[in-house]
Structure 1
């Protein structure tokens, strides 16, 4: 693996992309330490110690939320905007047409997502200001006036816009998906503190559990890596072709269907949706009792989180994996699945395979996200740990980014590091 990274830095273009990505991540980390004006950081820290949901959200912001930093919202508003657009594409024909227009349609969708992100960021930052101003136990926003509140909202929204731009820069000029990389960096930055909190909680309850916890963590990581790289291969045969006076034999290949087809997106989508009740409760006080039930560790939280993960696993797979289009392309280029007739039978067969493999894949996502959380509840700690969801995101984003780097290395006749 280390030799693979060394070879990657030997390629000037790839080295430039990697260094550019690290530079953007450095700017992101700096922004997570610059607080918005008028915030009492000590009172905010004391308040977050009693709020497990805020601690959970803080992990995905790289600690920026605990400092009310300019990047304190993280990229969750952007992720939420993407969720809304994906949902609307299923009911609004115009948006569905944009999905089918290729690069031009993607630009239109991206533009709408940007505006929607700013609206959601404004609502979220305003809800934070309202929530903190109503907190009578901790003076998080002392001497708050409308002008000071508006300044805090403007700072957070401007930071969100800047962070969205930085993520797009990574996607266009760096390596990997920019938004996923930013989430990855935020979780990695939070790991030392959250891990120490977990170890301390386990030690206080039963020191012997530390060894079990370490083994369990290793098994989770190994299991995630193994399943993330697992796939079902659907064989494809191409018919013989006659060109001039020569006959060319048909090629054999396969369609890879991953066990976890949807990747880390369902976890991110589910986490974003779970914040909706809390945000709405800041503007609709009557919803506060309902929102309080979504505290991590409650039964309702586990049930809703599991349901959201499974739903988004199927939903997102249906969006990114179109069996009809795939079967049509196979027929167009002379390909077929042995034993299956071209056309609708091929579509039905591919759909059947994807649906069958998607069920264990979605259950795997839910298990990885929830089993560690159940253990942490057993430890009796109010601290929100990194958990399986974050591990899945870390491993998934790392594998995806390494695969992109490896593909570029192999294009330049270098051996990658994933295959070693």
Structure 2
């Protein structure tokens, strides 16, 4: 992944393309969270974003129309997901090509249009190569798809802190600010690890299993959506601003709304950003736990929750418990998101802590997943016969 992110596509003027891409800080932050490289056009500039987006869209479709998707073979589902990944990769490649269209350089026997086609083709090919690497790691490695995001997040954490979404947002390192940063980071790590591992355990009666060693339970995490709200919140929040910069002008009133409601430098904009994070928290949390499918699985296996009827009642019970946990988790996400941004309104540069903590949270979830898998592999052969 790291080698592929350094292979420059030689159909553009590198200095000019880098200068153009550097202006879109929000797009770069999104690339940091999805294993991409938006500082320059490279083979793996798109990262894992097309793959992750396709997985999310397919999960939503599967939840909406479970009867239709259940009858599809695994091969057919994989082909559909690959097709969606290809479409999203083409869309993102075209977006990047449009952004740096004025930096294309004609090569011998090739026109600027030919160079643009080559750029889009290489970007899409790189995205599909990432899909292949992801499949290999899921099958034979550890960490799953998110492992490919790890190098980018680690490498760009300092950049998230030092340079904000706007070019004027810089965190200045002084003795006082450095001490504040260390204390805030340590506090954030302790609280995040505690909350991320927190879960509500619902006891389940297993009718087909006699277990004398402990009770069976169904866990619902405080943060069932994991780091996904942070990964996608920025790209959604800055979309209106990006469209305006691309000469899609809706008039003075529309520009006023964009400047007010979609800015990190106004209270209403911070509130809008928090709303986006919360909505993504509910969406990803519901999608990851899937109470409807869980209730159906319990009913089909003959298992049940004590004092709750199988079927619809179990579904409503699980949904209500899930919504409560997501609400608690969203309160934490809003706290992490809003407090640094509000401080940044009065102390320039401190708003970058919001993006720094978001990247740190993504890093924690990835490492926690890797540690759990390594620990499971280690303990797999440590049990003695009883």
Q: Determine if the TM-score, normalized by the shorter chain, exceeds 0.5.
A: yes
The runs of 5 or more residues in structure 1 that have no matched partner are 1-27, 135-139, 242-246, 416-420
2:227 match:
264
Query: How do residues 171-320 of structure 1 correspond to structure 2 at under 5 angstroms?
Result: 171-178=138-145, 180-195=146-161, 201-203=170-172, 207-238=175-206, 252-274=215-237, 277=240, 285-286=248-249, 293=259, 294=262, 297=265, 302-320=270-288
- Give distance in 1, aligned partners of 2:336 and 2:69: 31
Pick one of 50, 53, 59 that aligns with 1:77. Answer: 50
- Give distance in 1, aligned partners of 2:368 and 2:184: 21
- Give distance in 2, aligned partners of 1:106 and 1:275: 36
1:321 matched to 2:289: yes
| 8 Å CA contact 2:162, 2:352 repeated in 1 | no
Query: How do residues 20-419 of structure 1 correspond to structure 2 at under 5 angstroms?
Result: 28-60=1-33, 64-91=37-64, 93=65, 96-97=66-67, 99-101=69-71, 105-133=73-101, 140-142=103-105, 145-178=112-145, 180-195=146-161, 201-203=170-172, 207-238=175-206, 252-274=215-237, 277=240, 285-286=248-249, 293=259, 294=262, 297=265, 302-331=270-299, 333=301, 335-375=303-343, 378-381=346-349, 386-413=355-382
- Give distance in 2, aligned partners of 1:256 and 1:127: 41
Question: For the aligned residues, what is the CA RMSD?
Answer: 3.7
| 8 Å CA contact 2:157, 2:360 repeated in 1 | no
Give the length in aligned residue pairs.
Answer: 370
C-alpha deviation, 1:391, in angstroms: 1.6
Change (3 A) 1:84 1:39: same
Change (3 A) 1:174 1:237: same
| 8 Å CA contact 2:153, 2:359 repeated in 1 | yes
- Give distance in 2, aligned partners of 1:377 and 1:142: 42
Farther off after superposition, 291-300 or 157-166: 291-300
TM-score calculated relative to the size of structure 2:
0.80
- Give distance in 1, aligned partners of 2:170 and 2:267: 21
| 8 Å CA contact 1:63, 1:190 repeated in 2 | no
Q: Deviations over 1:249-286 (max 9, x none)?
A: 79732221111112222333434544655776688744
Farther off after superposition, 35-44 or 188-197: 188-197
C-alpha deviation, 1:73, in angstroms: 1.6
| 8 Å CA contact 1:368, 1:392 repeated in 2 | no
Q: Deviations over 1:387-409 (max 9, x none)?
A: 22212211111111211222222
C-alpha deviation, 1:224, in angstroms: 1.4
The runs of 5 or more residues in structure 2 that have no matched partner are none
| 8 Å CA contact 1:80, 1:272 repeated in 2 | no
Q: Deviations over 1:188-236 (max 9, x none)?
A: 12224445658x94436x6412211221112112221111100111123
- Give distance in 2, aligned partners of 1:384 and 1:142: 36
| 8 Å CA contact 2:162, 2:171 repeated in 1 | no
